[in-house]
A and B are shown apart, each in its own frame.
Chain A
Amino acid sequence: MFGGIDIGSRSTEFVLQEGGFVVHRAQLPTTFSPLEQCKRLLEGHSPEYLVATGYGRELVKTLDLPYSVGAITEIKAHALGAHALFPEAQTVLDIGGQDTKAILLNSKGGVVRFEMNDRCAAGTGKFLEHTANVFQVDIENFGPYALLGNQPPLINSMCTVFAETEATSLMAQGVRPEDIALALHKSVVRRTGSMLKRVGLAFPLVFSGGVANNACIRKLLHEEFGGAESICIAEEPDMCGAFGASLWAEVCFNA
């Protein structure tokens, strides 16, 4: 059995698989003690090899574990996971808690080129989380809420804080909050669209990472780039990184 653990800024996922068949998956919020959360996820499991990915990928090595631990970046992990789930995939979009990545793949699932947002949270899960606060809507309900909008104004700012300012002033002008929420979602898709184009977007595109659970972002992405045949979304898109890491664990073990 081979393990992959993806320690992101918001949530941590753990996958156990062998030969591509997942036998166990679990998820916990990362919280302020990621190491404790890792321990909880790993408890009772003893993979032959574990590969960590995500921001906390070096952290897992500090645990005293009875099996070998390696680390790869989220970029490689998502590329591996997306390729295994959708072998035809040519591009991967991973929107996570604080990072957005656009990855161009070769036919074997290797990374050819990638783009990543630098520093600020523009277009990331953090952006949606922050702006959802303005509407006092839970992040899980923010997508469905935005889908109630039908006349989105244009939100120009990509900066999380300035976008909030813009949303607030639109509210003051009497614009419907659902429409503003939709506009904020549109701004995320616009941002990721340009990142995808920079890496040389080719289809099929796999949309992975936690934000892929957001129904509004999914709908807008389909509107922008075409239907289900060109954009693939895994059943549990936030597991894709941990799954990719577990696949790499198997590769390392057999090498």
Chain B
Amino acid sequence: MSDAAHTEMWEKLNLDISAHEGLLEVLGKFYGDIYLSQENRLNGMEYLDFVLSEVHGLRIKEIQDAKATGKKVIGTFCVFVPEELTLAANAIHVGLCSGADAGTDEAEKLVPRNTCALIKSFIGFKLARICPFTESCDLVVGETTCDGKKKAYEAFGKLVPMHVMEVPQTKTTDAKQLFKAEVLRYKEALEELTGVKITVENLRKSISVVNEKRKALQRLSRLRAADPAPISGRDALLINQVSFYDEPERFTQSINTLCDQIEERIAQGGGVVPAGTKRLLLSGCPMAVPNWKLPYVMESSNAVIVGEESCIGSRNVRDLVDDSADTIEGMLDALVDRYMKIDCACFTPNDERMVNVQNMVKDLNADGVVHYALSFCQPYAHEAIKLQDVLSQKGIPMLSVETGYSMEDVEQLKTRVEAFVEMLD
């Protein structure tokens, strides 16, 4: 994945070149082992392979070229930051690096050790100067979805230009009013940063762009209900991960092309695994690139993942924005309505998630659920207990897993996942 032609660009971004090279090397090897070794992959995945191989290269170049024409870059960590507004303000919206152990020692000087790997990782990537996305940002938008994050942004805000949106913790009318005020505040921040006024026209266009992206991902999700599974869970996760980095219209087109291929494959009765392979729903915390450990373990245990009930998955794509409004006010309301449907574990109560997981199990013909919580992630650890109760009442088997990004527990994870799959017979 390393490309000397990009080195100059990385130097300009003030990356730590040798540390970054090390990261790309590890990432490349990891990608080869976990992705390129798969059998029966679809041709359409070559596009994703290319995008990922160039995620720190060509994509960054594209972003730098856009910046040279005056475009601004917004980095985010969460599906609560409305991409529609970012695009309407003619800015680029990207997810930031946070899926690997990087700069942990340095990060632990700013946040407590018992902080989840994702938070430590985004701080570590910044401190180690190895994320070209973070270094390209004109503004980083945080959100208060958990105590760990909201406190971490206090420290992170000293390192990058930071804007924090308050995400409410309930879904009452007052809470929605609060979120609307935050959406308005984000809109103003964007307008000030970019000098672009958000209008009915540009917002309508961006709502449509993002809706189309989500529709393509929804189409992919529906196709995964087929048995044999037409695409591996690893590849589907990758697609969801890339949806946070890639140029949205190009991405939508590629995913629709891939879906055409999948439809053909299903029509021919083909699949990525034999029919009857045990089908698992992966549920819980988001998995940023290259957090592929658990999916890899699952798919190396005689099972296939048929859905991701996650922020990098269904939580980001399930709901569209109503596009019928024709005033800014109406459009903002539509945005608020859509974003407040997200069933993040930060909400209390969050009973809709319990229902949504059951629906996904049913719609995707899953045999069981593997619940993934990052170690020290309180909200999802709590919901794991709740979900286990709800699912066991419905006779749906669930395995609860708590882990981080390091490889120290791979063998134990394997034993637990394999035993869970054996249990499904």
Contacts and interface: CB of A to CB of B under 8 A. Distances in A.
B419 to A, nearest CB: 4
B411 interface: yes
B368 to A, nearest CB: 12
A185 B422 CA distance: 32
Nearest to B425: A110
A118 B417 CA distance: 12
Chain B: interface residue count, which band? 10 to 19
B247 interface: no
Q: Considering residues B408, B411, B419, which has the most beta carbons from chain A within 10 angstroms of its beta carbon?
A: B419
A76 to B, nearest CB: 5
Given A75-B419, A111-B423, A118-B402, A55 B409 contact: no
A116 B416 contact: yes
Contact of A118 (B409, B422, B425): B409
B425 to A, nearest CB: 8
A73 B412 contact: no
Contact of B412 (A76, A99, A110, A114): A99
B422 A72 contact: yes
B191 interface: no
A40 interface: no
B253 interface: no
Interface string A90-118: 00000000010000000000111010101
Contacts of B408: 119
B415 interface: yes
16 contacts: A55-B415, A72-B422, A73-B415, A73-B419, A74-B419, A99-B412, A99-B415, A110-B425, A111-B422, A111-B423, A114-B416, A118-B402, A118-B403, A118-B409, A119-B409, A119-B412
A74 to B, nearest CB: 7
Interface string A185-210: 00000000000000000000000000
Contacts of A74: 415, 419
A18 B411 CA distance: 31
Given A55-B411, A75-B419, A76-B423, 9 more contacts: A55-B415, A75-B415, A75-B422, A76-B419, A110-B423, A114-B423, A116-B419, A118-B412, A119-B409
Nearest 6 A-B pairs (CB), nearest first? A75-B419, A73-B419, A111-B423, A76-B422, A73-B418, A119-B409
Interface in A18-76: 55, 72-76
Interface of B: 402-403, 408-409, 411-412, 415-416, 418-419, 422-423, 425
Contacts of A99: 412, 415
Contacts of A112: 423
Contacts, number: 37
Contacts of A119: 408-409, 412
A186 to B, nearest CB: 25
Interface residues of A, number: 14
A111 B419 contact: yes
Could you say which of B408, B422, B425 has the most chain A C-beta atoms within 10 Å of its C-beta? B422
Interface of A: 55, 72-76, 99, 110-112, 114, 116, 118-119
Nearest to A103: B419
A116 B422 contact: no
Nearest to A72: B422
Contacts of A114: 416, 419, 423
A109 B418 CA distance: 17
Contacts of B403: 118
Contacts of A110: 423, 425
A75 B415 CA distance: 8
A74 B412 CA distance: 11
Nearest to A117: B412
A64 B416 CA distance: 28
Nearest to A111: B423
B412 A116 contact: yes
A112 B399 CA distance: 11
Q: Most chain-B Cβ atoms within 10 A of its Cβ — which of A55, A75, A110?
A: A75
Nearest to B398: A113
Nearest to B413: A118
Contacts of A55: 411, 415
A198 to B, nearest CB: 10
Nearest to B423: A111
Given A116-B415, A116-B416, A118-B402, A73 B409 contact: no
Residue among A74, A112, A118 with max Cβ neighbours from chain B (10 Å): A118
A112 B411 CA distance: 22
B284 to A, nearest CB: 16
Most buried by A among B403, B416, B423, B425: B423
A74 B415 CA distance: 8
B131 to A, nearest CB: 28
Contacts of B416: 114, 116
Contacts of B411: 55
A88 B419 CA distance: 22
A31 to B, nearest CB: 18
Contacts of B419: 73-76, 111, 114, 116
A74 B419 CA distance: 8
Contacts of B423: 76, 110-112, 114
Taking each of B408, B415, B418, B425, which has the highest tally of chain A beta carbons within 10 Å of its own beta carbon?
B415
B347 to A, nearest CB: 26
A124 to B, nearest CB: 12
A39 to B, nearest CB: 22
